[in-house]
Amino acid sequence: MNETMDLSIMQLFRRTFPFVMTRILTYVVFALVAFLFLGIMIGVGFLLIKMFGENSFFFIIVMIISFGAVYGGLKFLERYFLYMVKTGHIAVIVELMQNGKIPEGKGMIAYGKDKVTENFGASNVAFAVDKLVYASVKQIQRWIFRIGNVFSFIPGSKNIIGIINAIMSVSLNYIDEAIMSYIFLQKGKENKQSVWKSASDGVVLYAQSWKGILKTGAGAVLFIYAFNIGVFLLLVFPLMFVGKLIAGDTQGLGTFTGFLAVVGAYVITTVIKRALIDPLVTIAMIRQYQISIRSLEPAIDLQDKLLGVSSRFRQLHNKSKSHAATETKEPPQGVLHN
């Protein structure tokens, strides 16, 4: 392993902290807006309880709207703003692992954004590739563990397979980002293949080395579960106490403020997890993936097998072939046609 590959998870985390800080600031702003919204909903709930009572249909609608608006706002933020930050972070992690530093003269955020634009052209292309990679890996994981079911006659094996499936389901949120790192790796080698071809090869390489990645994924998932449960419990009871103080003696309002306390604890836990823990886990998965595939080449026989078990991988593979055919048909620059 070369020197740059020896960068630890925490070294990569510290050296790419500008991306983490961007996430922190963004999620803090989101949390403040979310709590302002929830405060307004407390006022609305108070009025509805006064007018219709605790069991009114309108009261239930307000609770659904409260949770739905916060969750929807979070998804919108991550899709249309933070996705470029996340993808730029992946590009910089790959650069640091390969060269130990980023080129001088540019800030880290600007460099990451430029690498995304250079490789994908636009964030919506990167998003499309990412989603197809995610769907491909999801189907392939199901196939891998369907094979594991042949050992179901062994006592306790079903429970073990179930635990592994649960681990892989959560780690899937980070595996697609690790595979996306392969695209930046190939472009860094001045490989002329399309991003679709690199993504397709990256999925095959994951299928060749999934056992090593599973170990990192297992540790990450256990850490995420422990963190989420611990932080949520640490927050929800104080927030429920505050909600009870706000409700006072108003009949029915305590139920509503209790519900919003649960939503508030969820918001804070999610903000901390996605701002700090997700980048850390992403770095760990990318690092393990890059190390696992270091000496591998995509296996054609495995690729053919995956084409037979995953419709999404076939779609990804076909896109890589169609883009390759298009590039072949394009005339070299400077050649004139009559």
* Whether residue 60 has pLDDT greater than 80: no
Specify burial of residue 107 (Cβ count, 10 A radius: 0-12, 13-18, 19+). Answer: exposed
Task: Identify the CA nearest to 323 among candidates 226, 176, 223, 183.
Answer: 183
Which residue type does 128 have?
A: A
- Least confident interval from 134-148, 196-210, 231-245: 134-148
pLDDT at residue 32 in the model: 87
User: What would the 3-class secondary structure string for 252-317 be?
Assistant: CHHHHHHHHHHHHHHHHHHHHHHHHHHHHHHHHHHHHHHHHCCCCCCCHHHHHHHHHHCHHHHHHH
The rounded distance, in Å, linking the Cα atoms of 2 and 294 is 11
Token readout for 204 is 């095959």
Per-residue model confidence as pLDDT tens digits over 119-136: 887 667 888 899 999 999
* Residue 123 vs residue 64, higher pLDDT: 64
Mean pLDDT on 287-315: 91
Specify burial of residue 122 (Cβ count, 10 A radius: 0-12, 13-18, 19+). Answer: exposed
Residue 325 lies in a domain: no
Q: Provide the mean pLDDT of the chain.
A: 82
The rounded distance, in Å, linking the Cα atoms of 267 and 274 is 10
* Residue 177 vs residue 336, higher pLDDT: 177
Task: Identify the CA nearest to 268 among candidates 238, 308, 310.
Answer: 238
- Least confident interval from 68-72, 144-148, 233-237, 311-315: 144-148
pLDDT at residue 333 in the model: 47
* Whether residue 202 has pLDDT greater than 80: yes
Mean pLDDT on 84-94: 92
The rounded distance, in Å, linking the Cα atoms of 70 and 61 is 14
Residue 323 lies in a domain: no
Looking at the chain, the whole-number percentage of residues with pLDDT higher than 90 is: 32
Per-residue model confidence as pLDDT tens digits over 30-53: 888 888 887 787 777 777 766 766
Task: Identify the CA nearest to 148 among candidates 139, 140, 156, 158.
Answer: 158
Maximum mean pLDDT: which of 36-50, 65-79, 93-107: 93-107
pTM of this structure: 0.81
Residue 337 lies in a domain: no
With a CB cutoff of 8 Å and minimum separation 6, the contacts of 238 are none
pLDDT at residue 54 in the model: 57
Residues 200, 314: contact at Cβ < 8 Å? no
How many angstroms from the chain centroid is the CA of residue 114? 21
Residue 321 lies in a domain: no
- Least confident interval from 14-23, 184-193, 283-292: 184-193
Per-residue model confidence as pLDDT tens digits over 140-198: 888 876 655 555 555 666 677 677 777 777 778 888 899 999 999 887 666 677 889 99
pLDDT at residue 40 in the model: 80
pLDDT at residue 312 in the model: 93
- Least confident interval from 68-72, 165-169, 177-181, 202-206: 165-169
Q: Which range of residues forms the domain containing residue 183? A: 4-316
Per-residue model confidence as pLDDT tens digits over 112-121: 988 888 888 7
Residue 332 lies in a domain: no
pLDDT at residue 182 in the model: 92
* Whether residue 298 has pLDDT greater than 70: yes
DSSP notation for 173-193: HHHHHHHHHHHHHHHHTT--S
The rounded distance, in Å, linking the Cα atoms of 309 and 210 is 16
Which residue type does 290 have?
A: Q
The rounded distance, in Å, linking the Cα atoms of 308 and 275 is 38
Q: How confident is the model at residue 338 (pLDDT cuts 50, 70, 90)?
A: very low
Residue 59 lies in a domain: yes
Residue 77 lies in a domain: yes
* Residue 165 vs residue 237, higher pLDDT: 237
Mean pLDDT on 62-89: 83
Number of domains in the chain: 1
**What's the N-to-C CA distance of the chain in angstroms?**
53
pLDDT at residue 1 in the model: 41
Report the chain's C-alpha Rg in angstroms. Answer: 24
Residue 33 lies in a domain: yes
